[in-house]
Amino acid sequence: MNISRTKIIACATVIEEMVPLLPEGMATEVLDFGLHLSPPNLRDMLQAAIDASCPSYDTILLGYGLCSMAVIGLKANGCRLVIPRTDDCIGIFLGSQEAYTEQVRKEAGTYYLTKGWIEVADTPFDEYERLVQQYGVQRADRIMSIMLKNYKRLVYIDTGHQDNARYAEIARRTAEKFNLRFEEVRGSNALIAKMLKGEWDEEFLVVEPGKTISYLDFKLVQPKIEPNPTPAASLQTAEKE
């Protein structure tokens, strides 16, 4: 892997975990976390960023997972794409899709937080104050109960930051406020480290120039356990009820 000819395009929450491991001279581009709320928009922004970058780089490392199918249909126009084979960035923070699947087996109804997610303040929990201002406490509570009806647990992923304790406490208080069982689990930078070192084994999808990402070639052979849908995705529906 030629570092000077390699670029990272990543979500704002993922790039934070990449920065401590970035090889000197590797270019980066950060896309807004809020794009996840509309997978088609995220796909369009990713494709535009890929197309603008490919003339100058041979390889684009995508700091995303499958992310509600947002990466399906992306085309490697003139350069190679490399993306972790994870359902979303939770697998990246935990170090592997296998670790993520194990958490889903433990409790499918789980919402995850990291330092990065708390900092961008773009979660259903952050929406609560807006809902209170717009609808009042009673209706805001009802909307949140609809959004979180399939969730029993809130997990804070400790990704190793020095100020982790402060963010873990914020997550704990959030879980308490919304009647979710709180757990803290240790994350891993193993997947990120492999990606940045060019160790692209079966945990990564490598898309050669001219090819397009499909669902079938993205997934591993083992069956996937489907996590519950992100509460934010149901916000508009809940507000109408």
Domain co-membership, 80 together with 193: yes
Residue 163 in domain: yes
* pLDDT one digit per residue (tens) for the chain, 241 residues: 889 999 999 998 899 899 999 999 999 999 988 777 788 999 999 999 999 999 999 999 999 999 889 999 999 999 999 999 999 999 999 999 999 999 999 999 999 999 888 887 677 788 888 888 889 999 999 998 998 999 999 999 999 888 889 999 999 999 999 999 999 999 999 999 999 999 999 999 999 999 999 998 877 544 444 445 555 455 555 555 5
> CA–CA separation, 42 vs 65, rounded Å?
12
Q: Cα dihedral angle (229, 205, 83, 147), rounded to 10 degrees?
A: 0
Q: Which residues pair with 62 in a beta bridge?
A: 9
Residues 74 and 177 reside in one and the same domain: no
For residue 222, the model assigns a pLDDT of 43
Question: What CA–CA distance (Å, rounded) separates 215 from 101?
Answer: 18
Does one domain contain both 23 and 55? yes
- Which domain covers residue 152, as residue numbers? 91-188+229-240
Provide the domain count of the chain. 2
pTM: predicted TM-score of the whole model, two decimal places: 0.84
Q: Are residues 159 and 141 in the same domain?
A: yes
Cα–Cα distance between 241 and 222 in angstroms, integer? 38
Co-location of 113 and 200 in the same domain: no
